Structure 1
Amino acid sequence: MGIRKYILQDWHANLVNPTKGKYIVVLFRIAQLIVRHKATKIIFFWYLLFYRITIEWFMCVELSWKTSIGPNFQLWHGTGLVIHPNTIIGSNCSVRQCTTIGVKQDAEGAYSGQAPVLGDFVDVGCNSVIIGNIRIEDHVSIGAGSVVVKSIARNSVAVGNPARIIRSSENLN
């Protein structure tokens, strides 16, 4: 995949997205390209600093360039978002504002270090929390305000706190 195609791989999926989310995703892809090689990290350190200050501090989006995200990623509204660097997100996924995807804290206050894995075609509603060493399989919708602490099977709709599956079907695609 060429540089331009890599950087713009999510643009088409975000064409109907009038918010800053599509720009955040483009800046994220550029940062991912830069950190692939030590030389580009040195040459473009200024961009990585710009990315951190602009995206994390001003836009309140914690989206590390270490995070693995598949193509056609949609980021709606792009604010109040925290995605742990160890998180893996599949292709054709969408995440809405004020969502946290990260590690779980145990009773002693220590963090597990194991972040969630989201499959392909996962739709995460706003104000959702997905934490721990869990897997959200393909074709899953997570309702707004849900707190997900257990894995969710493919072709499911999960809502609530804690999230529970309200619909599951092999034909839900």
Structure 2
Amino acid sequence: MRELLEMLREDIAANRGQAKGALVVASYRVAHAARKPLDRKPSVLALPVGVTYRVLVEWILGVEIPWGTPIGRRLRVFHGVGIVINDRAVLGDDVAIRQSVTIGNMQDDGPCPTIGDRVELGAGCIVIGDISVGSDARVGAGAVVTKSVPPGGTALGTAATVRLPQ
């Protein structure tokens, strides 16, 4: 419980000025914690919390982040609408996501991306497949990323080209 409260404080601070982002991330944290607390069986609250989370975040706010998705600390959501994250994707610490971002797979039950720490995902970008986006990388607005991005790299464009850090 103490760790959950600490993560909530960090997430709310990371989303300062983005009330919707703070609500999305805080709701995710509570649902994620209720789903499987401390590697035990789900609590009796898991189902009502999960349904409430889904109605609020997915149906009302238009953001699909499954409650089982592993997400690091201090997730930032800017202008959160139209965000879709596959439940098998993995996000590191200090990831920033803008509106209309998709993180997923190319086929049903296919492998999903791993997003490193301190990654920025621009508005409308699509990151799909068995790839990784390295720590400190950036994905530009509207980019379609199907190949791994090295740490510190930048992915730009449709069928994104990757530039190495200088």
What TM-score do the two structures reach when normalised by structure 2? Answer: 0.91
Unpaired runs of 5+ residues, structure 2, are: none
Residue identity (%): 31
Q: Which moved more, 1:5-14 or 1:153-162?
A: 5-14
Offset, 1:53: 1.0
**In the alignment, residue 74 of structure 1 is paired with which amino acid?**
R
Q: What SS does structure 2 have at the residue aligned with 1:31?
A: helix
Q: Pairwise CA RMSD of aligned residues? A: 1.5
- Is the 2:58–2:64 contact (alpha carbons within 8 Å) kept by the matching residues of 1? yes
Offset, 1:96: 0.5
- Is the 2:126–2:142 contact (alpha carbons within 8 Å) kept by the matching residues of 1? yes
Aligned residue pairs: how many? 162
Offset from partner CA, 1:78-117 (integer Å, 9 cap, x none): 1001000001000011011001000113xxxxx2521100
Offset, 1:29: 0.2
- Is the 2:86–2:105 contact (alpha carbons within 8 Å) kept by the matching residues of 1? yes
Q: Of the two, which has the highest radius of gyration?
A: 1
What TM-score do the two structures reach when normalised by structure 1? Answer: 0.88
Offset from partner CA, 1:4-53 (integer Å, 9 cap, x none): 213333112111x334011100000000110114351x234222111111
Quickly say closer, same or farther: Cα 1:101–1:39, change in 2 above 3 A.
closer
Larger helix fraction of residues: 2
Quickly say closer, same or farther: Cα 1:77–1:43, change in 2 above 3 A.
same
Q: 2: CA distance between counterparts of 1:149 and 1:47?
A: 34
- 1:143 alignment partner, one of 134, 140, 143: 140
Q: 2: CA distance between counterparts of 1:82 and 1:102?
A: 8
Q: Which moved more, 1:24-33 or 1:48-57?
A: 48-57
Show structure 1 runs of 4+ deviating over 6 A. Answer: none
**In the alignment, residue 15 of structure 2 is paired with which amino acid?**
N
Q: What SS does structure 2 have at the residue aligned with 1:38?
A: coil
